[in-house]
Amino acid sequence: MSRAHHREAAFLKEAILYDDTAERHKLEQRITHIERDARCVGRAVWLMVLLTAVGISGLCYCAVFLADFPQNMEQFSTRLVVKIFGALGLGSLISLLAFMCLGLAYGRELNLRRAECRGLIAKLLESRLGKPASRPLRRLETGLPAEPGQEPQTRRKGQAGDASGEIFLTRINQ
């Protein structure tokens, strides 16, 4: 998780503490559980990177420094040490890919829970402070809704997106 996401998650966790409902407790538990699992998967990814490096290093060592270097690939691949390093490297590489996919899935799930958390905070602020005096901001270029319950806007045919990737915000005129 990047530093900005970590700061945002910490802020959201602090902000939802002002709400004392079962929904908040359930959301907080799910976020904590997902973060713990994501950290565990991150550690597994680093372990698989290390094991892949050990396997590749072992294969390179065997290829370069064996005393009786085999003349062809068939003789080289029949040695037990080479088989062990090959299996270690290949197995850890496959596991690395699987753990990376799992990490992406946890990241998406965490983003969904953060969006739920923002919605809960918005409801809490609205219940305590009332409706906002000014109009909400709308995201023009992405077509994303300004409020959680709204449908996203679809692009019109022939309308180009912003090449720089910036999101322009404007006040909704009613």
The reported pTM is 0.65
pLDDT value, residue 172: 44
pLDDT value, residue 132: 74
Question: Tens of pLDDT along the chain (174 residues)?
Answer: 678 877 888 888 888 888 888 888 999 999 999 999 999 999 999 999 999 999 999 988 888 877 666 666 667 667 788 889 999 999 999 999 999 999 999 999 999 999 999 999 888 888 888 887 777 666 555 555 555 555 555 555 555 544 444 343 444 444
- 146: DSSP letter: S
In 78-173, which residue ranges form alpha helices assigned H by DSSP?
80-129
First to last CA, the chain: 39
pLDDT value, residue 173: 42
Tell me which residue of 125, 56, 42, 50 sits closest to 84, measured CA to CA: 56
3-state SS, one letter per residue, for 122-137: HHHHHHHHCCCCCCCE
Contact 114, 10 (CB under 8 A): no
Residue ranges covered by each domain of the chain: 3-133, 134-174
- 171: DSSP letter: E
- 54: DSSP letter: H
pLDDT value, residue 153: 55
Phi, psi of 166 (to 5 degrees): -80, 150
Separation CA 18–CA 121 (nearest Å): 9
Which residues touch 78 (CB under 8 Å, ≥6 apart)? none
Residues 121, 154, 4, CA angle at the centre, nearest 5°? 40
